[in-house]
Amino acid sequence: MQQQFPPLQAPRRLLFGPGPSMVAPRVYAAMSQNVVGHLDPFFFEVAEEIRLLIAYAYSTVNEFNLAISGTGSSGMEAAVANFVEPGQKFALLTNGFFAERIGEMARRHGADIVRFAKDWGQPFDPQEARDFIRRERPRVVAFVQAETSTGMFNQSRTICEAAHEVDALVIADCVTSLGGMPVLVDENGIDIAYGCTQKGLGCPPGLAPMTVSPRALDWLEKRTTPVTSWYLDLRLLDTFYSGHKYHHTASATLFYALREALVMVSEEGLEHRCERHRRNHVAFVAGIEAMGLQMLVDGHHRLWTLNTPRVPDGVEDGKVRQYLLEERGIEIAGGFGPLAGKVFRIGLMGHGSTADNVLLVLEALEAALKQQGYRPAGDSRAAAEKALSAAV
C-alpha cells in the first residue's frame, strides 16, 4: 500500500455514558502482561480465580461461574439458549429496551412468550408481577434487574419467589448492576445471572461474567433437546474451563483485565463498593435537582450506576452531548426508543464513580445547558457537596 498510517493515538475520553466506563490503571497494567495460549496452565489458573471472584461479586455460593467470551449480550443469549426449549412458556417482565432484547432472543429460540409490560421507566407492581407469574405458570421467567435504557432498578425478590412457587427458572440481566449495586443472587433467588465487564467492573468490553444455580444446572442436565447455539452451550464451555479441553480461543488479555477488576472489587469489599456508588449517585442527583432538572425514575427504583435526568424544555440533547464531547472530552449518552431526546444517560460507575467526577460532570453539564440558554435554578456544586458531606 502507498498510503502511510501514523502511529495510533486514541483520544483521551472521560467515559460517563452507560458503558463503557472508565478503566482503572491497574486493569490497563494487567492487560499489558504477556499473552499466553488459551490452553496454557497459567490461563486456566486465571480462569479459576475468576470463577471464585465472580461468585463474590454476585453474592452467591454457586460453583458454576464463568466468563463468556463476548459482550453482555452474549451472556444474555447464553442464558436464553441454554434454558429455553422450543414451545416452552417464557414469561418476560419488560419495562425497557433490554428486556425486549431478551424477548426477541427467546422468540428466535422458539419460546412461547407471555409478557407483563410497563412503560419504559415505570416499576413493576410487586403484587401484579406475582399474580402474572402465578396465572401464566411459565417454565422460565426473565427480567432486567438494572435496565440500562431507563436507569431503572427492578426489585428481584418478589419476581423470584413467585417464579419458584410455580417451579420456574429465573433469568436476571445484571449488566448495569454487577460491581456497583447489590445483585444478591442467592438472597433474591436468581437462578441464572449474567453481566458484562465494561460497566460497574471497569474493564474493556468483551466478556460476560455469568453464574448458574445448582437448580438451573439440574434442569440443564435433564434438557431433552440440544442447545441451539454451539458456541454458547454451557456444558461445552464447562469442558473447556473445567476440563481444559479446546472449545474456542479465549482472549488472555481480557481475562487478565477481568481478574484484576474483580480483585479490586474484593479488596474494596462489596458493601463498601456499593455504598460508594450509592453515595455518589445521591450527590449527583442532588446537583441535578438543584439545577432544576428532574429525574426520570422515582428515587427508590433508581440505579446508582446510571442516572437518567430529563432533558429540560427547549434544550436539544444532541447539542449538549456534542458540546461535552468536543469541548470537555466527556462522553454521555441520550435516550432512545420512546425516550429519544427526553433523557440523558449519565454513568458514574466502577472506577469512574468518585466524588470528584460527580462535581466534574455536574459542572460540565451545567456549562453545556447554559450554552443553549438554560438557566439553572440553583447551585448544583453546593448541593452535591452538601450531600457528599452528609454521607461521610
Question: Across residues 205-213, what is the average pLDDT?
Answer: 98
| Residue 392 pLDDT exceeds 80 | no
Give 151-196 pLDDT, tens digit per residue: 999 999 999 999 999 999 999 999 999 999 999 999 999 999 999 9
Residue whose C-alpha is closest to residue 91's, from 156, 157, 136:
136
Residue 82 in contact with residue 66, Cβ under 8 Å? no
Other Cβ atoms closer than 10 A to 263: 17
| Average pLDDT value for residue range 46-59 | 98
Domains and CATH numbers, the chain: 25-267 (3.40.640.10), 269-391 (3.90.1150.10)
Counting residues of the chain whose pLDDT is more than 90, the rounded percentage is: 98
Are 198 and 184 spatial neighbours (Cβ–Cβ below 8 Å)? no
Locate the DSSP E strands across 22-151: 64-69, 89-94, 112-117, 140-144, 146-147
Give phi and psi for 279, each to the nearest 5: -60, -45
Q: What is the pTM of this model?
A: 0.97
d(CA 152, CA 162): 21
Does 323 have pLDDT greater than 80?
yes
What pLDDT is attached to residue 345? 98
Question: Beta strands 207-212 and 306-307: pairing type?
Answer: unpaired
Q: Categorize the per-residue pLDDT at 111 as very low, low, confident or very high, splitting at 50, 70 and 90.
A: very high
pLDDT reading at 274 higher than 90: yes
Residues 84, 57 contacting (CB under 8 angstroms): no
- For residue 82, the tally of other CB atoms under 10 A from its CB is 26
